[in-house]
Structure formats: C-alpha cells, structure tokens
Amino acid sequence: MTMTFTASARRVADAASLVPGGVNSNFRLGISPTPLVIARGEGPYLHDIDGNRLIDYYLGMGPMILGHNPAEVIDAVRRQLDYGLLFAAQSEIEYQAAALMNRLVPCAERVRFSCSGSEVVQAAIRLARAATGRATILKCEGHYHGWFDNVVWSVAPPAADMGSVDAPAHVPASPGLDPKAGDSVDVVVWNDLARLETRLRKGDVAGLIMEPIMCNQNVIMPDAGYIEGVRRVCSETGTILIFDEVITGFRVAPGGAQSLLGVTPDLAVFGKAIANGLPVAAIAGRADLMDLMVTRRVMHGGTYNAHPLGMAATVATLTALADGSVHDRIAVRGRRLMEGFQTILRNRQVAGRVQGLPQVFHVTLGVRDPIHNYRDQVNADKAAYVRLTTALLGHGVRALERGAWFLSLAHDDAVIDATIEAFDHAVAEALV
C-alpha cells in the first residue's frame, strides 16, 4: 500500500501566505513529497492530517527517546501545570533536574538551563572567551552548533567550496550573516589529531567546540585515540574543550558521549533528549568555569530558562534514562534495524553504508567504505537517498532526508520488523 499526502501538501501551500514556506524552521522546508501536517503523536507513530499512521524516525529531530507520549513525562508535566506556569524565581524542580545531571554527566559540576541548543552553545562560547581572554573559537567541518551567526560556518559545505584539508574554507551556511562573525571562528577537519594539534599550538584559541560523536553530517565515531588526544592538546594549550552533546546527550548513554568515550570536556551543552520533547537545553561543566557567571558576571539570561514545565519533563525523562536500561533495550532493536538495512542494500546490490550507534545511526548511499569525517561522504548520492525516503514515506515510514535514524523505546520488535519490510519495498522501488 502506498500512502498519499495531499491534505498536508494543500495545507502547507495555503499556509505559505501566512508563514514563510508554510513551516516554522528552515529544516522543515522542501521535504519530499511535502512537509507534513501532523495531528498527533503516539508511541513510535505520528498521525498526519491525511489519516496516515507513520512510523516516525525523526522523533522531533532527536528528542523523543521515550517515544511520542510516554506516560511518565506527560503525567509529570500535567502535575506541574497545577502549580502555575512561570515564576521568574527558583523552584525545587530545577534543582532536582540539576542534581540528576550532576549525577549522570561526568563534566557536570555545575549546570544552567535554557530553552534551545543554539542558546547554550552561545553561553559556552562566552565562558570560554571570558576564561581565556582569547577570541578565536575553533569548530570542526560538518558539525552543527545551532543557527546563530558565529557558528553556522562550514556546516555542510559543497565539495567545491571546502578548501584544503590544511586550511578548510569558512563557508557561510546562510545569506545575511555578519561577515565579521566569521573572523573569530576557525575551521578544522574532524578526526585528524595532527592538524588539530598544529592549529591549537598557535595558542590563540579560546575554545574548541565539537560533537564528540559526529551526528549532524552522518554518524561518525571518533577514531581510536582521537578524543583522548583532543583532551590532552586542549589541556596543554589552555584551550577550553566544549562538547556539543545536543544530540548525543542522554541518547547514546545516560551520561552522554563523554561517558561512553571516557573523556571529560571542560564544558558541554545538552538539549533534545534531555526533556523528551519539551524545549529544554543545558550547559554543564567545570565549577570554576561555570561560576564565572557569578564571580565575573559572565552574562547568561533568558525569561524562560528552567521553565517549570520543561524542568518537570527533564526530571521525569532523566529519571527514566538514569540506569541505562532504556539505552540497552533500544540498542538491541537498533542493531537489528541497522543489520536489516545493510543486508537489504547488499542483497539488492545497492552501494550504501549503515554506520553509527543503535540509538542514532546513518544510512549513506553511494559510499561503501567507512566514513571518518565530513569529506569522506561529501559526494554521497543524496538525490537517491531522497528518492528512498520519499518511497519509505509511501510505505508508512518517516525518516530524515539527510540520512539519520533516531530510535525510541517505543519502537518495539513489531515496529522494527515493519520498518525493515518497508525499507525493502522502498529500496526496490526507488533504487533498483
């Protein structure tokens, strides 16, 4: 059976006279065959306004690790509603959330909450500059740290614009950026310790920010010794090491990538899975750095910071994730899904690669060899992949066009089986 999406297409087109493109984030623009209009979420499913029930692997772009309507999170938010909405003061629930983070996340001696990953990245950058008195922020090619002017550089540069490996170009990801914002950010290729070391030895970098497991362009594990080397060189050069765990945090392990990899950054930022769908983000890190917000009044503000509803969701979510059993259960099913996809690609003789972790992995077409950094996959067959996700949607499976697959606890064995079957049909239709 192939599903149709005409009601969504019509509604989005109509709404474009009111809302640019009919969508409220540029990442929702131009999805094939149409951006969807959703009526409700339930477990692993989304129900759209065409009446389709879709197995969802977007999971809100990552947050919904417990599924779309986990009782413990919904109940906690409902209970919190009875106490009022916003206090511009402290409440016990935010201290509980901070204590949970402190228990789970190795670097989290101190914690502050905000509402989006983009915001807490800015807080981390400001702390790094204040702590070191240096201006330059170093980021890695292909990594995404939010949509603000000083970090949306070389996020997904076309091959022709990337520049050399020794001096990657600064490629703006949007028109309208402050051209000067690019002056204080420098770009290195990821998973290359020698080049990073050469750059950091110049001694002018305030902070190095990276996704410790690269999840925005592909899902790429650090090579053996790389992250340990990054930690050592940052310490030796007085560079603040910032892990952007907005995707990996609470998703790949209760303590995030830093606990999985056994390397502790100076600062780390979190979002997405922290509150299973409520708009919560956090910055966590070394006490002496975080306390600069007090001792030197390094500015971190926000009307909605530590919003009580978000904090209730955070406590419920982190409590559910704390012992790691959710991750273990997702891992078994995620591995089955990854193996199922790889087998189908092999049997149908489609060049493609499935790599990453079972809680978040990536399918790349047109590439067979292991992918170590952005450049290894820049020439992947993205058009073919969009054909594949379009066909998958017709078979009731919603997966990101960029290749990522997010899993939740609600994706049970039957859902995994149905997905593998749909994948086989979609590959046959779109790629063979």
Ligand X SMILES: Cc1ncc(COP(=O)(O)O)c(C=O)c1O
Which are the catalytic amino acids? 144, 244, 272
Residue owning tokens 């959710």: 326
Q: Are 423 and 397 in contact (CB under 8 A)?
A: yes
Nearer to ligand X, 9 or 61 (CB): 61
What is the Cα–Cα distance from 175 to 153, expressed in whole angstroms? 11
User: Cβ–Cβ contacts within 10 Å for residue 6, how many?
Assistant: 11
Assess 247 for contact with ligand X (CB under 6 A). yes
CB of 147 to ligand X, least distance (A): 7
Tell which positions 291-310 bind ligand X, by CB under 6 A. Answer: none
Q: Does position 56 bind ligand X by CB under 6 A? A: no
Task: With beta carbons less than 8 A apart as the criterion, state whether 425 and 393 touch.
Answer: no
Kindly tell me which of 144 and 423 has the beta carbon lying closer to ligand X. Answer: 144
By beta carbon distance, the residue nearest ligand X is 117
Question: From the CB of 265, what's the least distance to ligand X, in Å?
Answer: 14
The span of 114-122, 132-140, 333-341, 367-375 binding ligand X (CB under 6 A) equals: 114-122
Peptide bond into 33 cis (omega under 30): yes
Nearer to ligand X (CB atom), residue 146 or residue 310: 146
Name the phi and psi angles at 383, rounded to 5.
-65, -40
Interface with ligand X, residue 216, by CB under 6 A: yes
Whichever of 281 and 431 has its CB closer to ligand X, that residue is 281
Number of residues located near ligand X, criterion CB under 6 A: 15
Rounded to a whole number of angstroms, the minimum distance from the CB of residue 352 to ligand X is: 23
Sequence-distant (6+) residues with CB within 8 A of 354 are: 338, 341, 342, 345, 361, 362, 363, 364
C-alpha 291/C-alpha 279 separation (Å) is 24
Subset of residues 131 to 160 that bind ligand X, contact rule: CB under 6 A:
144-146
Residue 246 found at the interface with ligand X (CB under 6 A):
yes
Q: Which of 116, 317, 355, 377 is in the footprint of ligand X by CB under 6 A?
A: 116
- Backbone dihedral region for residue 279 (phi beyond 0: left; psi -120 to 50: alpha; all else: beta): beta
- Determine the Cα–Cα distance for residues 4 and 285; give it in Å rounded to an integer: 47
DSSP string, 266-312: SEEEE-GGGGTTSS-EEEEE-HHHHTHHHHS------TTTT-HHHHH
69-88 mask for ligand X (x: CB under 6 A)?
Answer: --------------------
Question: Starting at the edge strand that comes first in sequence, how are the strands of the sheet with 352-357 ordered?
Answer: 352-357, 360-365, 404-406
Q: Which of 142, 254, 271, 352 binds ligand X (CB under 6 A)?
A: 271
Q: Output 244 or 266, the one with its CB closest to ligand X.
A: 244
Q: Which residues bind ligand X (CB under 6 A)?
A: 61, 116-118, 121, 144-146, 211, 216, 244, 246-247, 271, 281
